[in-house]
Amino acid sequence: MSGRLPCGSFLRATAALLALALLGPGCASLGPKAISRDRLDYHEALSSSWKTQTLLNLVRLRYVDPPIFLEVASIVNSYSLESGVTLEGVFGSQVPNSTTLGAHGTYTDRPTITYSPVAGEKFTRSVMTPITPVAILSLIQVGYPVDAVFRLCVKTVNGISNQTGAFALRQPADPSFVPLLEALRRIQVSGGVGLRLEKRTSEETAILLFRKSRSTALEADRRFVAQTLGLTEADEYSLVFGAIPARPGEIAILSRSMLEIMSEIGSGIDVPEKEIEEKRVVPPPVFEGMPGPALPPLVRVRCTAERPEDAYAAVRYRGQWFWIEDRDIPSKRVFSFLMLLFSLAETGGHPNLPVLTIPAG
pLDDT tens figures, 236-282? 888 888 888 888 888 999 999 999 999 999 999 999 999 999 999 98
Q: How far is CA 358 from CA 72, 123, 271, 354, in A?
A: 15, 29, 43, 13
Task: Give mean pLDDT, residues 325-343.
Answer: 89
Task: Give mean pLDDT, residues 67-90.
Answer: 68
**Ordered DSSP codes for 186-223:** HHHHTT-EEEEEEEETTEEEEEEEE---S-HHHHHHHH
What proportion of the chain, given as a percentage, has pLDDT over 90? 31
pLDDT at 293: 64
Task: Give mean pLDDT, residues 149-173.
Answer: 89
Kindly tell me if the per-residue pLDDT of 78 is higher than 90: no
> Comparing 222 with 32, which gets the higher pLDDT?
222
Using CA atoms, how far apart are residues 252 and 130, in angstroms rounded to an integer? 14
pLDDT at 83: 60
pLDDT at 361: 43
pLDDT at 352: 42
pLDDT at 176: 93
Model confidence band, residue 358 (pLDDT cutoffs 50, 70, 90): very low
In the chain, beta strands by DSSP E: 70-90, 98-117, 154-157, 160-161, 193-200, 203-210, 236-241, 250-255, 302-304, 311-317, 320-325, 355-357
**CA quadruple 153, 156, 157, 158: dihedral, nearest 10:** -160
* Short-list 258, 297, 269, 56, CA closest to 153: 258
Dump pLDDT digits (tens) for 279-294: 999 888 877 666 666 7
Q: For the whole model, what pTM was predicted?
A: 0.75
Please name the residues in contact with 92: beta carbons below 8 A apart, sequence gap of 6 or more: 2, 3, 4
Using CA atoms, how far apart are residues 200 and 188, in angstroms rounded to an integer? 26
Kindly tell me if the per-residue pLDDT of 77 is higher than 60: yes
What proportion of the chain, given as a percentage, has pLDDT over 70? 73
pLDDT at 351: 39
Kindly tell me if the per-residue pLDDT of 151 is higher than 90: yes
Q: Do residues 131 and 256 lie in contact, with contact meaning Cβ atoms separated by under 8 Å?
A: yes
pLDDT at 1: 43
Task: Give mean pLDDT, residues 53-57.
Answer: 93
Q: Do residues 324 and 300 lie in contact, with contact meaning Cβ atoms separated by under 8 Å?
A: yes
Average pLDDT, the chain: 78
pLDDT at 200: 65
Give ∠ CA 184-187-190 in degrees, rounded to 5: 150
Using CA atoms, how far apart are residues 244 and 194, in angstroms rounded to an integer? 22
**Ordered DSSP codes for 110-150:** EEEEEEEE--HHHHIIIIISBPPHHHHHHHHHTT--HHHHH
Model confidence band, residue 353 (pLDDT cutoffs 50, 70, 90): very low
